[in-house]
Chain A
Amino acid sequence: MSNKALDMNLDTEIAQIRAQYLLRLRSDESKLRRLVSDLASRIDKTVIEDIHRILHSIIGSAGTFGLHQASEEAQKADEIVISSFNALEQESKDFSNIHLRTSVIAFCNFLDEMFQNSDLKALSERHPEDLLAPIIDKSEETGSTTEVWLIEEDEELANQLSEHISNFNFHIRTLNLSDALAIANTSGWPPVTMIDLDGGELGRKNNMRLTLTAGDYRPRRLIALSNDDSFEKRAYAAKLRATAFVSKPINIPTLIHHIEKYLESAQASYERVLLVDDDHELRAFLEIMLKSEGIEVKVLTQINEIVDVMNDFRPELILLDMEMPDYSGIDIAVLIRQHPQFESIPIVYLSAEQDLGKQSEALSFDADDFLTKPISKPRLISSIRSRVQRARSLDKLISKDSLTGLLKHGSIKDSGARELQRGRRESYPVSIVMLDIDHFKKVNDTYGHSTGDVVISSLATLLRHRLRQTDLIGRYGGEEFLVILPQTTERSACEIINEVRLAFNEMQFRYQDVQFSCSLSAGCVESSLFADSDLSELIEAADEALYSSKNNGRNRVTARSDLD
């Protein structure tokens, strides 16, 4: 494969799956040890079969993940297990329980030793809960870096931009135009490319400009940079199909805003659809049809689990069969609507019913659409997409702050309370953080409210990029933010927020010819420190820590537990 960037991604992905596999291998080892100790007290054929199954699976999988010796050792042990099993079946005298057990224990010891070796050790000792975690694309889960290209020959400017932008977890790859074209030709353009229009090859070589604008090879999203904000320059950028134009000196928050907007549209998340249908074949058919369109599908097989599944999967739309044996589609729709949290989720019926009267009766129970079988794919997909889109924008309007795109005061409190409850139920720590921009009033008074807005939205962007997708971020008040970090102790919350503090402090803002920077103060508290408190009381505790940060000179993060 000539494509270096793709190779790198592939390697990382393989490494992630491998890490997951090592965790499982670790748990397989404990299982084997347990089974062997069972055999010590009683000979049981099913136990021997279980051992064989585990070993057999390791033989096949370990080598695939590069652990060839583990495969071979498992093979050796398995051969002895198989011959012991056969001897036992034939009630032969050759059966030796001790021989069988020693060979399996020898294999376990081999694994143990292998795990002691440096990088495997770290991987296999991660949190045991990870063992149960399904394999997911971690790059979506944590804020991993996204590559953005910068076509720039001015080295100083390139370094400066890279440094600022890396704060947002974007990775900038600086290239000259000919290299960029060559790489793009073999492996395609990244989601976003920035190009400096001043000087460089672009001005000198006409053929490159032509290549850049040639239909099929055009960059996906192009941001033009220039120190000449004239009509002619902008028109020139427009001819290159640059959909954003940022004039120099470059205002970093503005640039980030463009990059973020384009990346978001490139990675618009999949629609989540819950499918409720008792027809086996139709269900399989629909599932594949939706998945092939990039729609995430969950199939509900046990109707009585619908509420749990919905709470867990959080579908954005429900496809509901009208005619099921025990309950009708209407029964289920009404049941769903009894739960206030599902009041606005779109429901689409699937039915063989051609009678319009019956269809409208069904729709009168708060459902949104009625699709008749046989179902046409375009109709189904467009019905799903348009409804989910509408629900999403409605939800955004209701729950998101328009300036920052973060959750509003009320929504963050609702979701925060839910998260807190879940943490208590599943006994993991949840940390609550209050953040406040220092001397923000002065920014507004000196540089005006629109500059103040840039500062606020920059911090919001920074938080979004630095925190995990499972963390909740809300704009609590004017320049105050509330962050909820599930599965995070107070200590790690302080570390994470401290990194945000440092990055925020490094950001340069611009008002006319003046450059300035801002700082933030924060206070963190962990749920377990106040066992019976509700979210409001925890917010108060975080606030106390925040005020201690303010009183100790600002630009710092304080843990609530350090106050007592």
Chain B
Amino acid sequence: MAKYGMVIDLKRCVGCYSCVLACKAENGTPPGVFWNKVLATEKGRYPSAHIYYTPVACMHCDSPPCEGVCPTGATYKGRDGIVSIEQEKCIGCRYCQVSCPYDVRSFNERIKGYFQEFGLTPYEKAAYARHKPGTVSKCDFCSHRLEQGKEPACVVACPARARHFGDLGDPTSEVARLIAGRSGYRLREEAGTQPSVYYLPG
């Protein structure tokens, strides 16, 4: 069984937010719900000030704090390395959101569409069936696409080819080689969560 992971090359990321939109389009997340985000950080002072972009989504940790605090077992770590939420089991206590060091979980409020004066569009009606109000949701590495042999939507959409997806367990895979060759690191490594998303230094 593959152990899925992602590598994000910060040297290539241009901060275009395509991955954010691709995720929204693919997963049809309601307003206010962002499974994939791009964080912009300012560094330095004028005239040598810079903005750095860091895309973040669920890190699919190997020791996920969210799984440990979930009282119902709705959040679970699959054998493929993907941390998923069983929406039918989620009671919406939000303990997982409080406990996530990366703040990448969203809570589905009562769902309102993007175009409130017109009601839900046919696309929204279809997409929101997946998003149960009162539950927590997050990135699942586009499991439905993986089943069809496709890569996650954000990986395919990235125009700068900054995202790579593959099997971390296989040392010959592209992701494993990138991590080894370009000293890939993980966010908040010291938290001991063992994320499956690696970053290549910018």
Tell me whether A and B are bound partners. Answer: no
Q: Which residues of B contact A (CB under 8 A)?
A: none
